């Protein structure tokens, strides 16, 4: 029965949908719009449930083309900083570009757009948004078709911790965006990626400074020192971005916005399901119960995704000190 409910998701009006207008937002919640929203809202890409896989394939192909193109360019370079680790350097560049794109997308929707469903707790947690589905599908595709295969292909990235993290990102991001592409996805799939941009830059500069440190000439030593200064600056920016985005902002949105909304919706779902199914019997009651169960399950990916992103980012940021690449 649950499988049949998934198939008709978005096409059949469920009992829960009738409760969306009556669930009021928490008293302290204020509109987050910073600029006239209708302009930004219209600019965000969107897709229906039927276009999820097409968007995912497009995202994966975009990542693969970027990886193959930059890697081929770096391999032909005479600069050892680029050609010594062409695949790894290309991966860092594509990762930084994607994280920047996801951040801009998320901020545009989270801060500068208005959606009719966000006036109630149920709307924020359960009402699907086409732009969130598009972002989630793109993220799922770029992780599943570019990030994971690249980690297998590039020796430096072939680490169990990296692979497990990326498989978890693909699973939670894909399921959450397919079954629950709601308002909070703009934050968890987009805004929080802001801290990953300087982190990707830092990783690339760290690798470049290690390779440059193997040179013996005065020019190579000067270049190594310059790269190390840039690396240290990027590390400081990445640390500040992590503390603000992943610790302060992430905690604030998760514990003081998302979870209160989810807890406000759960009792209403249970009460609404009992009230609407009580007079019924047989298959009709089972169908309505399955609709309620499906909505309960839809909150799970967002809860899991919030914890996964916080833990995954902290693991990437705390890295052991490396002794290689010391300027002579």
Question: What is the reported pLDDT for 271?
Answer: 61
Question: What is the reported pLDDT for 131?
Answer: 93
Average pLDDT of the chain is 76
The helix or strand, by DSSP H or E, that contains position 158, with its residue range, turns out to be: none
Percent with pLDDT over 70 in the chain: 69
Give me the half-sphere count of Cα atoms (radius 13 Å) on the Cβ side of residue 124: 27
Is the predicted pLDDT of residue 105 greater than 80, yes or no? Answer: yes
First to last CA, the chain: 68
Question: What is the reported pLDDT for 315?
Answer: 42
Nearest to 192 by CA among 135, 120, 234: 135
Angle at CA of residue 115, ends 114 and 119, nearest 5°: 100
Residue pLDDT, tens place only, 261-271: 999 988 876 66
Alpha-carbon span 101 to 89, nearest angstrom:
19
Residue 266 contacts residue 296 (beta carbons within 8 Å): yes
Please tell me the pTM assigned to this model: 0.72
Alpha-carbon span 90 to 92, nearest angstrom:
5
Question: What is the reported pLDDT for 234?
Answer: 94
Q: Mean pLDDT, to the nearest integer, of 224-249?
A: 94
Higher-confidence position of 36 and 258: 258
Q: SS in 3 state form for 53-71?
A: HHHHHHHHHHHHHHHHHHH
pLDDT band at 318 (very low <50, low <70, confident <90, very high): very low
Query: Of 10-24, 148-162, 166-180, 216-230, which gets the smallest average pLDDT?
Result: 10-24
Query: Tokens 């300087």 map to which residue?
Result: 198
Q: Mean pLDDT, to the nearest integer, of 190-215?
A: 91
Question: What is the reported pLDDT for 268?
Answer: 74
Is the predicted pLDDT of residue 226 greater than 90, yes or no? Answer: yes
**DSSP labels, 233-295:** HHHHHHHHHHIIIIIIIHHHHIIIIIHHHHHHHHHHHHHHHHHHHTT--THHHHHHHHHHHHH
As a whole number of Å, the CA-based R_g of the chain is 23
Question: What is the reported pLDDT for 325?
Answer: 39
């Amino acid at each position: 029965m649950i499988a049949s409910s998934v198939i008709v998701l978005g096409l059949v009006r469920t009992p829960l949908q009738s409760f969306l207008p009556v669930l009021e937002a928490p008293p302290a919640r204020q509109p987050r719009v910073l600029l006239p929203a209708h302009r930004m809202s219209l600019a965000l890409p969107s897709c229906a449930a039927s276009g999820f896989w097409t968007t995912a394939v497009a995202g994966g192909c975009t990542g693969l083309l970027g990886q193959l193109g930059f890697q081929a360019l770096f391999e032909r370079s005479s600069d050892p900083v680029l050609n010594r680790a062409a695949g790894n350097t290309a991966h860092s560049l594509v990762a930084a570009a994607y994280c920047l794109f996801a951040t801009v997308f998320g901020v545009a929707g989270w801060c500068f757009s208005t959606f009719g469903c966000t006036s109630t707790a149920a709307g924020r947690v359960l009402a699907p948004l086409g732009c969130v589905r598009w972002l989630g599908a793109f993220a799922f595709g770029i992780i599943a078709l570019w990030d994971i295969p690249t980690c297998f292909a590039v020796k430096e990235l072939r680490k169990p911790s990296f692979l497990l993290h990326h498989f978890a990102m693909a699973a939670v991001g894909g399921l959450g965006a397919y079954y629950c592409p709601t308002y909070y996805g703009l934050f968890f799939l987009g805004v929080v990626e802001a801290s990953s941009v300087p982190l990707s830059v830092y990783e690339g500069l760290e690798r470049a400074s290690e390779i440059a440190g193997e040179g013996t000439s005065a020019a190579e030593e000067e270049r190594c020192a310059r790269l190390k200064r840039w690396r240290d600056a990027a590390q400081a920016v990445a640390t500040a971005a992590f503390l603000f985005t992943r610790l302060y902002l992430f905690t604030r949105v998760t514990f003081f916005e998302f979870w209160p909304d989810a807890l406000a919706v759960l009792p209403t779902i249970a009460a609404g399901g009992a009230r609407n199914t009580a007079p019924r019997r047989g298959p009709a009651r089972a169908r309505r119960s399955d609709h309620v169960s499906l909505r309960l399950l839809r909150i799970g990916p967002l809860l899991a995704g919030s914890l996964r992103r916080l833990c995954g980012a902290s693991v990437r940021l705390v890295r052991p000190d490396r002794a290689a690449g010391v300027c002579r």
